Chains A and B, each alone.
Chain A
């Protein structure tokens, strides 16, 4: 499979990039330090300056081109504009800090190192949509970080940045931290809402969409932690500044969470549109132990893996990754070297989806189990080559036929890992001597 070289980095002069989501400021997580560094000034501006009507804030965010950082990459300002006109009924914002997509660990770093930027972003979004309650949903495993943010949030309440009559402007918003309890599915927007409501966290059928019927059936908008953290930056520096960073169609600063076989794994802030090769070879310090690159999973376990020979000229933004055959997802990039057995690896990934399926839809509940079983059978050397077609078939039956996208997310890694690493799978299979389906089929 030949993939044309797509081009060069869209991240401009990234070697001199100055971080804005996680800037170089010691103890920035403390309210005092955040204030000294211009914190809550964007909030103050939108609440006090004439020009910042709620609509103007929404339009500015829309114009910045900010796309959701939770996986789907939807234009954030556009999503905000879907909220119905204000009436006397409640409306909610949910900030999605469930961060359970395997390979993703950036929201945790952001919440630890710059929590007030997230809180300020939440408040600006609440103002733009005339919302008076935001639920900040954080996965239960992040217990230490929940304590940490609760502490900082309390300080923000005490200083009058959150709560009633913020900065004396008459605008009020509460931020409530909701602690999850270990379920990947709660990251899905409607499942998160059921979780908040104290129900079993089954995703809901859409439509109605959250902007119509969300939490407790009232209009609700949901955004990822990192998405909302961009709002104060856009207000402070302008939509034009923001949209000029990185890839034009998917702009902004972004947190890349690089894990796996590189010398310096971790969270990095750079513009979007970085070359994958720059991220691996330069930013993350190259391949560990000088080993050869085998595969890159660009944005969390649900995004299709790219073979080493497919990443030349590919940049980290929606368009380039789509052309290359994958997705931006969460920006949590896993780098695999030549020692990895892709069959074994896929077996463990499929186990994850089987474990996390909520069981509501038959194609997902049964399908994820079958995927795990069949990949496992091949991994043990007991599979047949025709099982590979069976797997592809199963994927087709799962994709787009369920209440939420978990079934698709489970099918994609299977479909594309097999497609792109077929030799490895075939090598582990028993050969089929006669065509599949023939009554004469015998296994060697």
Chain B
């Protein structure tokens, strides 16, 4: 039972989710079966399984990790070890929108910290904190692989927002407050700008990441 896991590991005495909530839908179960088929051993499916669970529950408390492990038929300790290894798996509840501002290698010299501090002032919280309304968490991120469009940030492990300015941050925050996720932005190559008018893709709007919202509506 989920309740015991928390106590046993003494990391989460009070489970966040009740046993009624701790169920996967039949679609989710078949997705899990699909993950199992992708690897010769069931353990390979852990990461995909945890991703699915995090998209559903918003974060991964022990009872959710247990649920994933049971669904995949692997030891809980193994799944727990993996869940705690990676930064993108949230061990604590975070805001609906987690803003990962890159302040690493290139971003730090291109205004990454200016953007971070501007956001901190704007939302009245420091990096690592969540706003009182539960809407925003700000985090300082390591290189996100978009250094050519520094400074940049990522929203809740999903969308990238490139070439940030203060006014871009303003409209981003107000859009997110309205529940509007910014559209996918295809970073044009400078050579494409010269040779093709920057005109490489005409289908970016078809990209959709969140199959389920960042925090499932069912629990709100």
User: CB distance B196 to A24 under 8 Å?
Assistant: yes
Does residue A214 face the partner (Cβ distance < 8 Å to B)?
no
Size of the chain A interface, CB-CB below 8 angstroms: 69
User: CB distance A100 to B88 under 8 Å?
Assistant: no
Q: CA A169 – CA B134 in complex, angstroms?
A: 56
Return chain B residues, CB-CB under 8 Å to A105: 145-148
Instruction: Pick the residue among B109, B146, B202 that contacts A345 (CB under 8 A).
Output: B109
Return chain B residues, CB-CB under 8 Å to A26: 196, 199-202
Q: CA A310 – CA B104 in complex, angstroms?
A: 25
User: CB distance B191 to A102 under 8 Å?
Assistant: no
Closest A residue, CB atoms, query B144: A141
Which of A108, A259, A334 gathers the greatest number of chain B CB atoms within 10 Å? Answer: A259
Does residue B22 face the partner (Cβ distance < 8 Å to A)?
no
User: CB distance B105 to A102 under 8 Å?
Assistant: yes
Does residue B48 face the partner (Cβ distance < 8 Å to A)?
yes
| Min CB gap A61→B, angstroms | 26
Return chain A residues, CB-CB under 8 Å to B157: 140-141, 143
**Chain A 252-296 interface residues, beta-carbon cutoff 8 Å to B:** 257-261, 264-269, 284-285
Q: CA A174 – CA B108 in complex, angstroms?
A: 40
Known A266-B148, A301-B105: A352·B142 in contact at CB below 8 Å? yes
Does residue A30 face the partner (Cβ distance < 8 Å to B)?
yes
User: CB distance A216 to B41 under 8 Å?
Assistant: yes
Known A268-B189, A348-B104: A147·B208 in contact at CB below 8 Å? yes
| Min CB gap A265→B, angstroms | 5
Instruction: Pick the residue among A27, A100, A144 that contacts B209 (CB under 8 A).
Output: A144
Q: CA A125 – CA B119 in complex, angstroms?
A: 46
Return chain B residues, CB-CB under 8 Å to A195: 47
Return chain B residues, CB-CB under 8 Å to A90: 40
Which of A27, A30, A112, A143 gathers the greatest number of chain B CB atoms within 10 Å? Answer: A143
| Min CB gap A39→B, angstroms | 16
Does residue A349 face the partner (Cβ distance < 8 Å to B)?
yes
User: CB distance A102 to B82 under 8 Å?
Assistant: no
Q: CA A179 – CA B51 in complex, angstroms?
A: 9
Closest B residue, CB atoms, query A185: B85
Q: CA A102 – CA B147 in complex, angstroms?
A: 8
User: CB distance B82 to A200 under 8 Å?
Assistant: yes
Does residue A385 face the partner (Cβ distance < 8 Å to B)?
no
Known A103-B147, A216-B40: A141·B88 in contact at CB below 8 Å? yes
Q: CA A197 – CA B146 in complex, angstroms?
A: 28
Return chain B residues, CB-CB under 8 Å to A352: 104-105, 142-143
Instruction: Pick the residue among B104, B105, B148 that contacts A258 (CB under 8 A).
Output: B148
User: CB distance A200 to B159 under 8 Å?
Assistant: no
User: CB distance B105 to A142 under 8 Å?
Assistant: no
**Chain A 346-405 interface residues, beta-carbon cutoff 8 Å to B:** 348-349, 352, 355-356
Return chain B residues, CB-CB under 8 Å to A142: 145
| Min CB gap B80→A, angstroms | 10
5 pairs of residues in contact across A and B, judged by CB atoms under 8 Å: A196-B44, A198-B42, A200-B82, A257-B148, A352-B104
Given contacts A101-B143, A140-B88, A345-B109, 13 further A-B contacts (CB under 8 A): A24-B192, A27-B203, A102-B142, A103-B143, A109-B187, A113-B200, A141-B144, A143-B157, A144-B207, A183-B86, A196-B39, A257-B147, A334-B109
Enumerate the 8 nearest inter-chain pairs by beta-carbon distance, A residue then B residue, closest first: A198-B43, A102-B105, A182-B88, A181-B86, A102-B143, A182-B87, A259-B147, A259-B106
- Chain A residues with a Cβ under 8 A of chain B: 19, 22, 24, 26-30, 90, 99-105, 107-109, 112-113, 139-144, 147-148, 176, 178-184, 195-201, 216, 257-261, 264-269, 284-285, 301, 332, 334, 336, 340, 345, 348-349, 352, 355-356
